[in-house]
Amino acid sequence: MKHKVCSVLLPFIYSAVLAACNKNDDDKDPGAPGTKKGIVSGVVTDAKNQPVKDARITIEHTVWYNSYLFGSSDNDGKYQVSLPDDPAGDWTAKAQLTKTAYGQTYKFDLEPDKSDAFNKANGAVRNFTWKLSGQRPGGTGYYGAHVDLYQFGADVDLTKVKLSFTPFPGETGFIDGTTAASFERPVEEVAGTFMVKDVPIGKYTIKAVYAGKRLLLNNRHADDNNEETKTVVFGKYGYLGETEYNIEFYVTE
């Protein structure tokens, strides 16, 4: 008798378990662990893998103009945005972070772990990292700022000049709190402009180094003096993108 009951119950139990498994599988994209239908979610971290709060998440439709959804990261760096039924189709995600330091307000683009589109049927997980330097995806510039140099009475080859960056006295870290150390970068010619590229946002004293000559710097946008060492606080000079920052100096002898 017991054997007959077990024979009846076992198929029923198996069917119930299978149905539950199928329901869970329906809620997730099997190709992306943690993905849920109708939801885009993720975590925002910094270079030290610490959570970043108050990052602004923008979900944009790939076809419909001015169709956006917004979210923000919490104290644990986590965010979640629900995708609507209408408009149907594909979406992409990006994230930005606004920080105030050195008397300036900066807006940073955050690096996505994936940039491909997604839809409500599958949902998506998109994580972001706050990076102060490095090349942006697709080779579209750098996350760091740049120093632009212009000759003004200096008989030198600017491509043979190097800039020495030293953390400003009293400043021990970059804007994201990571430790800042002195470094040196070569000047490069980029589309007719001489510059040092991809400098992490921070406050520095800088010096132009050239073999056999003492070079002086003069802030191009200030009533400035020619000095061997200058303080750098990055801002916006010229035609720059929303999240691009620079400073411009004349190079003299």
Evaluate the CA torsion angle 228, 233, 239, 241 in order and state its sign: positive
Cα-flanking dihedrals φ and ψ of residue 241, to 5°? Answer: -70, 170
- Quick one: pLDDT at residue 224? 87
- Quick one: pLDDT at residue 33? 64
Q: Do 250 and 218 meet the contact criterion of CB atoms below 8 Å apart?
A: yes
Provide the pLDDT confidence category of residue 22 given band limits of 50, 70 and 90: very low
Domain spans in the chain, listed from the N-terminal domain onward = 39-131, 140-252
Fold agreement (39-131, 140-252): yes
- Give the Cα separation of 242 and 234 in Å (integer): 14
Kindly tell me if the per-residue pLDDT of 9 is higher than 50. Answer: no
Choose between 33 and 76: higher pLDDT. Answer: 76
- Quick one: pLDDT at residue 172? 75
Q: What is the CATH number of domain 140-252?
A: 2.60.40
User: What would the mean pLDDT of 118-129 be, rounded to a whole number?
Assistant: 96
Residue type, 63: V
Choose between 211 and 24: higher pLDDT. Answer: 211
User: What would the mean pLDDT of 220-248 be, rounded to a whole number?
Assistant: 93
Kindly tell me if the per-residue pLDDT of 46 is higher than 90. Answer: yes
39-131: CATH superfamily: Carboxypeptidase-like, regulatory domain (2.60.40.1120)
Q: Do 247 and 240 meet the contact criterion of CB atoms below 8 Å apart?
A: no
- Quick one: pLDDT at residue 26? 40
Rg, C-alpha atoms of the chain = 26
For residue range 55-74, what is the model confidence (pLDDT) as tens digits? Answer: 999 999 999 998 999 999 99
For residue range 189-210, what is the model confidence (pLDDT) as tens digits? Answer: 998 899 999 999 999 999 999 9
| DSSP secondary structure, 122-163, as one string | T-EE--EE--SSSBPGGG--BSSEEEEEEESS--S-GGG-EE
- Give the Cα separation of 102 and 84 in Å (integer): 41
- Quick one: pLDDT at residue 2? 35
Report the chain's mean pLDDT, rounded to a whole number.
87
